[in-house]
């Protein structure tokens, strides 16, 4: 089954925390295989774990991360991702725009898979429209912002 969505790091965190509730509800409405994450997102989530390794909340956070990765498969970067990365970066540079490097790789990965990127960081990713399909399940209009 071909995935339909790639989740950005903030959406994965919202699903893990069940906040805002509409993100978790939207996720639960999907069938297994509809949603994936990039190894770049996985790396960002692991970085978050590393930052709290010596705290009392680490064990619970690690369990949550493990469950999240069981629910949302990590899809390896394919050969075409680098070409999309280069094209996106050149387009942004020509326009005098930037987005974070990890975000650029996540966008390129979503484009290579021909899936919609789900993020609450639409301000940056909208710079890649219409080449990149972007949705915000957190629905900032409903009052939720990072």
pLDDT digits (tens, 9 = 90+) for 25-67: 999 999 999 999 999 999 999 999 999 999 999 999 999 999 9
Q: Is 114 annotated as a binding residue?
A: no
CB 107 within 8 A of CB 75: no
Predicted local confidence at residue 139, as pLDDT:
78
Please state the rounded mean pLDDT for residues 7-12. 98
Q: Is 103 annotated as a binding residue?
A: yes
Predicted local confidence at residue 1, as pLDDT:
83
Distance CA 36, CA 7 (A): 6
Judged on CB neighbours under 10 Å (0-12, 13-18, 19+), 129 is: exposed
Distance CA 42, CA 33 (A): 17
The superfamily CATH assigns to domain 5-139 is 5'-nuclease (3.40.50.1010)
Predicted local confidence at residue 8, as pLDDT:
98
Percent of the chain with pLDDT strictly greater than 90: 93
Distance CA 105, CA 70 (A): 22
Q: Parse the chain into domains and list their residue ranges.
A: 5-139
With cut-offs at 50, 70 and 90, classify the pLDDT of residue 142.
Answer: low
Q: What is the DSSP letter of 77?
A: P
């Amino acid at each position: 089954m071909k995935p339909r969505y790639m989740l950005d790091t903030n959406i994965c965190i919202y699903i893990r925390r069940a906040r805002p509730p509409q993100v978790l509800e939207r996720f639960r409405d999907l069938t297994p295989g509809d949603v994936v994450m990039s190894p770049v997102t996985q790396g960002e989530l692991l970085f978050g774990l590393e930052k709290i390794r010596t705290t009392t909340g680490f064990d619970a956070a690690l369990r949550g991360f493990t469950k999240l990765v069981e629910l949302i498969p990590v899809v390896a970067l394919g050969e075409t991702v680098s070409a999309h990365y280069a094209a996106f970066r050149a387009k942004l540079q020509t326009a005098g725009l930037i987005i974070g490097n990890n975000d650029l790789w996540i966008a390129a990965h979503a484009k290579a898979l021909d899936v919609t990127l789900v993020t609450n960081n639409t301000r940056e990713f909208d710079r890649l429209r219409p080449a990149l399909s972007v949705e915000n399940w957190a629905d900032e209009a409903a009052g939720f912002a990072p």
